[in-house]
C-alpha cells in the first residue's frame, strides 16, 4: 500500500472514522490573525479519486463537511466563495510487537506457599505482532481571497476493521474534527 494517499478517500477512510471513541485523536490549529466572523460562504477543491479509492467515501466526507458548515451558518457557493475546503487522507502501514513473560516460580516473597526466597521456577515469553493502518483525515480550510490556510483539523486513528455503518461513522468523526471550527464559536 502506498504510505501516503493525498486527495483521496479510500475504503480505509470509513474505517478511520469508525467512531468518535477515545481512540480517534483530534487536533486543530488555526491562524490567530484571521477574522472568522467575516467568512460566510464556502466551496470545495476538486477532490479526485484515484487507485483504490471509493467514490462512496468521497461523497460521505463531502456531505458531512457540508452539513457541518451549513449547521454553523455557512452557505455553499461556486461563485466567489470566502473559503475553500480540502480533505486529505494519510495512511501508513504499521506493525506493533508485544512480549509477555509468564514466570512460574516456587515460593518467594509474595507466594502463598513460601516466604522470602524460594526454589527455582520456569517461565516463557510469548511474542505477538499486530499489523494495522495508522490513518488520518485532515480537513483544511483556506481563505479563498488570500489562498492562505486559516484552519486545519485532523482526526487520527489506528484502523483494524471497517465500521458497520460508514454513513454514521463518517458524520460523527467529521463533526468531532470540526467541533473547533470556527475558533471561538459557541459549542
Q: Residues 129-160: pLDDT tens digits?
A: 866 666 778 899 999 999 999 999 999 887 66
Whether the CB-CB separation of 49 and 55 falls below 8 Å is answered with yes
Confidence (pTM): 0.69
Within-domain flag for 71: yes
Within-domain flag for 185: no
* Domain boundaries, position 51: 11-93+133-180
Within-domain flag for 17: yes
CATH code, domain with 15: 3.30.160.670
Please give the tally of structural domains in the chain.
Answer: 1
Within-domain flag for 108: no
Comparing 136 with 40, which gets the higher pLDDT? 40
Within-domain flag for 123: no
**Closest among 111, 91, 101, 112 to 159, alpha carbons compared:** 91
Within-domain flag for 121: no
Average of pLDDT values for 90-107? 69
Within-domain flag for 54: yes
Q: Average pLDDT of the chain?
A: 77
Please, which pLDDT band fits residue 101 given cuts at 50, 70 and 90?
Answer: confident
Within-domain flag for 187: no
Amino acid at each position: 500500500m502506498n504510505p501516503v494517499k493525498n486527495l483521496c478517500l479510500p475504503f480505509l477512510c470509513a474505517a478511520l472514522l469508525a467512531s468518535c471513541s477515545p481512540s480517534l485523536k483530534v487536533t486543530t490549529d488555526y491562524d490567530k490573525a484571521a477574522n472568522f466572523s467575516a467568512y460566510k460562504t464556502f466551496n470545495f477543491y476538486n477532490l479526485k479519486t484515484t487507485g483504490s479509492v471509493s467514490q462512496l467515501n468521497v461523497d460521505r466526507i463531502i456531505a458531512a463537511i457540508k452539513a457541518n458548515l451549513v449547521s454553523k451558518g455557512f452557505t455553499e457557493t461556486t461563485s466567489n466563495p470566502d473559503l475553500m475546503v480540502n480533505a486529505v487522507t494519510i495512511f501508513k502501514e504499521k506493525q506493533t510487537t508485544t512480549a509477555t513473560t509468564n514466570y512460574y516460580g516456587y515460593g518467594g516473597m509474595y507466594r502463598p506457599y513460601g516466604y522470602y526466597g524460594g526454589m527455582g521456577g520456569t517461565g516463557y515469553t510469548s511474542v505477538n505482532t499486530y499489523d494495522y493502518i495508522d490513518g488520518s483525515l485532515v480537513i483544511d480550510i483556506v481563505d479563498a481571497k488570500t489562498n492562505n490556510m486559516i484552519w486545519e483539523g485532523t482526526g487520527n486513528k489506528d484502523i483494524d476493521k471497517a465500521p458497520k455503518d460508514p454513513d454514521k461513522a463518517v458524520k460523527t468523526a467529521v463533526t468531532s474534527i470540526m467541533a473547533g471550527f470556527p475558533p471561538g464559536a459557541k459549542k
